[in-house]
Structure 1
Amino acid sequence: MTYEQVVHTIDNKRRFGKACGRDVTQEFMDVLGHPELGMHIIHIAGTNGKGSVAAFVSSILQAASFASSEHFKVGLFTSPHLIDYTERIQIDGKQISREDVTRIGQQLLDMELKLEPTMFDYWLAMAMVYFKEQQVDYVVLETGLGGAKDSTNGLRQPPEVCAITSIGLEHTQYLGDTLAAIAGEKAGIIKQGVPVVIGEMGEEASQVIEARCDELGCDLTHATQVDSDLKLGLFGGYQRKNAAVAVEIIRNLKMTVDNQTIADGLAVAVWPGRMHVISEKPYILVDGAHNPSGVTALRDSLKAEFSNQKFSFIMAVMADKDYVEMAQIVAPMSERIFTVTVDSERALQAKELADAIAALGVKAQACDSYESAIDLAKTYNEKIIVFGSLYFIGEILGAGYDKNKS
């Protein structure tokens, strides 16, 4: 099989499996001989911010490796990807090669399993096989959906640190319809005696996590914000909270990392598609915010950076998101919102999204493509903010719309 054939085959597996993801991973690891054993795993869950926290932690660990006389390798597993599936699996900031995806993917697809893996299950198993082959020491592991039943929770190797970045209402059909229920599901990644770091969240959610830590004898650290004089590689006021979670994760590891190395890692962290300025003239910022809490963080960062300014928003969402509330959050900052349909079977159609926004009393216009939406937005001479879906941001970045465009 070619790379394209392997990726197509995996991509067309079920998104949500019939079996619990945790159980599928357990079977995968059993068949593969548990490649994850011996790795130092940092397990990160949360409604928003887990990708940014993972990027910060990976960057700090790479800086620590560079500063150490004994080099170690840092693996990173995240989802979704923006442009290429290879983004999901990285070692020391370098993506897995297409040749390795083809080779390991073929191996996994040829396996006969009792349980039916999803697309996510295959990529997680691929990551563990690849990390084992490459003798990775530290693995920064981002959960997919939830925590307790998540595929990443099926590894036999206990994590060295667990972290929960934030709790908000998302995927309520799978995780529960209250903050306490969702916190309980996310807290399912916590293991006996393993240190836990949590970001800022409501009392209802934090109490659930605190109770779980007490039950399992885990030391709990509440992260707040890093010092304002620390330079961050990621733009946006909310990233200081994510950076704080990352710093506390590092401080809870069994290794010692000095403050200068932590600062160096924070300064060069990269996480494309999050508060990402892709053009200065015209000013275009893209952000993968795809739920109300994420959009609130985007709004607050825009307010802090550009006080009292109005923006032209371009919005595209998946149909299962709370898009009305998302639009309400940014509506006071704009006279109009342009809508686009994401290239996905799960996408909400641009016309339906525009109608829902118009019902809020906000001007909305459906567009055939992000190019036409940007062209229309440019006529208003306002900063352009694109948000609503990581897949949508991936389309734009994948098409090469960058700072050379005007």
Structure 2
Amino acid sequence: MPAESDLCSLLALGPRPGRDAREGACNHGQVTADEVFFREWQARAAGETRSLARARALAEVLGVLPAGVPVLVVVGSKGKGTAATYASACLAAAGLRVGTVTSPGLRGNRDRIRVNGQAVSEAEFASLAERLERAIGSLPPRTGGYLAPTGLFTLSGVVQARERGADALVLEAGMGGLGDEVSLFRPEVVAITPIFSEHVGVLGDTPAAIATEKAGVVDALTRHVVSAPQTPAVAEALERTVEARTRKKGLVEYVEIADVPQEHLPPGLVQRAAQVGCSAALRLLEGEGLALPDAERLEAVLSTVVLPGRLSWHRVPGADTEVLADCAINGTGVAMALVTARERWANIDHVVLCLPDHKDLDGAIAALGALPVTFVRLPYERLRFTRPLPSSWEVIEAAELTPDRLAGLGRHVVALGTVYFIGQILDLVDADTTRLFTAP
């Protein structure tokens, strides 16, 4: 897979203009731990790609192959983190201890690795990095392929889950499927969120080609493939790939009606991903012969789920400004966020938006109409911000966006854009991202 597949890893290197500008930098231990995960990626040669063979060798050294517990893998173009969170919450409601790996982190890299919804502590993260560094040191020098950061977080998450006695694993692919390190762990269940043209040219030249790559994570051990509704071309590619890899026909199940009451699921476009996650978790329990959670316990756990940056509400510290933060990257997502904001507020005072050139900027402009907008540019060479914007929009650099500036935009502010940018917003409002749900 091309090096571009770790674009989110590049962005995670920071420093983030929000949190790190205020604090100066992360503490030295945290920086050292982060460096272990990114070292080979940073030192890669031009044209060098990630090496699944090297990742497999590392997994063997770490002793995490096979996983030893049932594995649920989440792939797709959008909503993977939501699906992984709800799948994990459903499994926890059934009484299982669940290890979860998601990508990228919300406010930092510790957020990628969780047990029963709780992010690892700084001490646990540092310990994982030390163990990872020792294991990498035992490998032969690399010759033509690096260890991808997203893969190292996946392996470390499995290590953490084992040490904490997890009964099941939920692993979100960083971007792909067959070319992602999640493919090292044979999944009993695969959850597929909507697949569209995101990552065209990286994973494939068409959505159908992207679907083929993502569905490549299934193998003969896979019992269930639970998918969101897809376009005909994508559905055909999924079904063809799954049948070829599993030797089973009709394995792909499209979620049209939720297995859990709709009132327990989040609003907006992420609801479909939550449905997929819940259904996939219940299929895993059924396949393992485990009892499904009773309705009361399921409701109790799902009612605690929080999705920071997915239509989430926050207060700017020390100010009377409320922010609706959402990782909307196209016109449909932007429109949904505005509808959600207007259901709560009489008016929207301002919108803060960050969309690089390759996102649906035209759709966002159309959805935003005459609303006052501040457009934020991120400081990364790989992200282009060159497309023309409405003349009424203010344009600033990410480092210029501070809590005071955010509060100065009004009492009701909508923040929209890429996952990384919304992570900066979560920093500015000091959002709690350590726990995504509360296990019984």
Both proteins in one fold, TM over 0.5 = yes
Structural mapping, 1:372-383, within 5 Å: 374-375=406-407, 377-378=409-410, 383=412
Deviation for aligned residue 1:300: 2.7
> Are residue 103 (structure 1) and residue 127 (structure 2) matched?
yes
Deviation for aligned residue 1:56: 0.7
Structure 1 Cα separation of the partners of residues 334 and 70 of structure 2: 33
Deviations 1:217-244 (A, max 9, x none): 162211124389643363x322331222
Structure 2 Cα separation of the partners of residues 90 and 265 of structure 1: 16
| Sequence identity (%) | 22
Is contact 2:314–2:429 with CA below 8 Å preserved after alignment?
A: no
- Name the aligned partner's letter for residue 354 of structure 2: A
Is contact 1:175–1:185 with CA below 8 Å preserved after alignment?
A: yes
Deviations 1:15-70 (A, max 9, x none): 788344533332221222335431211000011111001111111111211xxxxx
- Name the aligned partner's letter for residue 46 of structure 1: G
Structural mapping, 1:9-48, within 5 Å: 9-14=36-41, 18-48=48-78
Structure 1 Cα separation of the partners of residues 379 and 157 of structure 2: 26
SS in 2 for 1:325: helix
**Among residues 221, 224, 231, which one is paired with 2:263 in the alignment?**
231
SS in 2 for 1:175: coil
> Are residue 286 (structure 1) and residue 293 (structure 2) matched?
no
RMSD of aligned residue pairs (Cα, Å): 2.9
Deviation for aligned residue 1:256: 3.1
Deviation for aligned residue 1:81: 0.7
Residue ranges of structure 1 left out of the alignment (5+ in a row): 66-71
Deviations 1:140-173 (A, max 9, x none): 1000011111121123xx2110011111111222
Deviations 1:77-101 (A, max 9, x none): 0011121211110001221122222
**Among residues 336, 346, 362, which one is paired with 2:372 in the alignment?**
336
Is contact 1:225–1:241 with CA below 8 Å preserved after alignment?
A: no
Taking structure 1 as reference, are residues 227 and 184 closer, same or farther at Cα in structure 2, changes over 3 Å only? Answer: closer
1:165 alignment partner in structure 2: 193
**Among residues 346, 350, 354, which one is paired with 1:312 in the alignment?**
350
2:240 alignment partner in structure 1: 211
Deviations 1:371-390 (A, max 9, x none): 37635632xx7x42111122
Structure 1 Cα separation of the partners of residues 422 and 122 of structure 2: 22
2:9 alignment partner in structure 1: none
SS in 2 for 1:148: coil
SS in 2 for 1:189: coil
TM-score computed with the length of structure 1 as normaliser? 0.83
Structure 2 Cα separation of the partners of residues 33 and 401 of structure 1: 37
Is contact 1:77–1:88 with CA below 8 Å preserved after alignment?
A: yes
- Name the aligned partner's letter for residue 173 of structure 1: G
Aligned residues: 379
Structure 1 Cα separation of the partners of residues 293 and 431 of structure 2: 36
**Among residues 70, 83, 94, which one is paired with 1:53 in the alignment?**
83
The farther-off stretch of 194-203 and 5-14 is 5-14
1:175 alignment partner in structure 2: 203
Taking structure 1 as reference, are residues 374 and 227 closer, same or farther at Cα in structure 2, changes over 3 Å only? Answer: farther
Which one scores higher on RCO, CA 8 angstroms, separation ≥ 6?
A: 2
SS in 2 for 1:367: strand
1:69 alignment partner in structure 2: none
> Are residue 2 (structure 1) and residue 29 (structure 2) matched?
yes
1:68 alignment partner in structure 2: none
Deviation for aligned residue 1:108: 1.9
Taking structure 1 as reference, are residues 392 and 119 closer, same or farther at Cα in structure 2, changes over 3 Å only? Answer: same
SS in 2 for 1:377: coil
Structure 2 Cα separation of the partners of residues 212 and 247 of structure 1: 23
> Are residue 299 (structure 1) and residue 335 (structure 2) matched?
yes
Deviation for aligned residue 1:182: 1.1
Taking structure 1 as reference, are residues 386 and 196 closer, same or farther at Cα in structure 2, changes over 3 Å only? Answer: same
**Among residues 296, 313, 327, which one is paired with 1:277 in the alignment?**
313
1:324 alignment partner in structure 2: 361
Is contact 1:232–1:268 with CA below 8 Å preserved after alignment?
A: no
- Name the aligned partner's letter for residue 230 of structure 2: M
Deviation for aligned residue 1:274: 1.2
Is contact 2:313–2:325 with CA below 8 Å preserved after alignment?
A: yes
Structure 1 Cα separation of the partners of residues 326 and 41 of structure 2: 27
Structural mapping, 1:261-276, within 5 Å: 261-276=297-312
Residue ranges of structure 2 left out of the alignment (5+ in a row): 1-27, 433-440
SS in 1 for 2:214: helix
1:370 alignment partner in structure 2: 401
- Name the aligned partner's letter for residue 201 of structure 1: Q
Deviation for aligned residue 1:329: 4.9
**Among residues 72, 78, 99, which one is paired with 1:75 in the alignment?**
99
1:256 alignment partner in structure 2: 291
Structure 2 Cα separation of the partners of residues 227 and 58 of structure 1: 15
Taking structure 1 as reference, are residues 335 and 191 closer, same or farther at Cα in structure 2, changes over 3 Å only? Answer: same
**Among residues 57, 64, 73, which one is paired with 2:94 in the alignment?**
64
TM-score computed with the length of structure 2 as normaliser? 0.77
Is contact 1:35–1:128 with CA below 8 Å preserved after alignment?
A: no
1:357 alignment partner in structure 2: 389
SS in 1 for 2:147: coil
Structure 2 Cα separation of the partners of residues 283 and 79 of structure 1: 27
Deviation for aligned residue 1:195: 0.9
SS in 1 for 2:105: coil
Is contact 1:167–1:179 with CA below 8 Å preserved after alignment?
A: yes
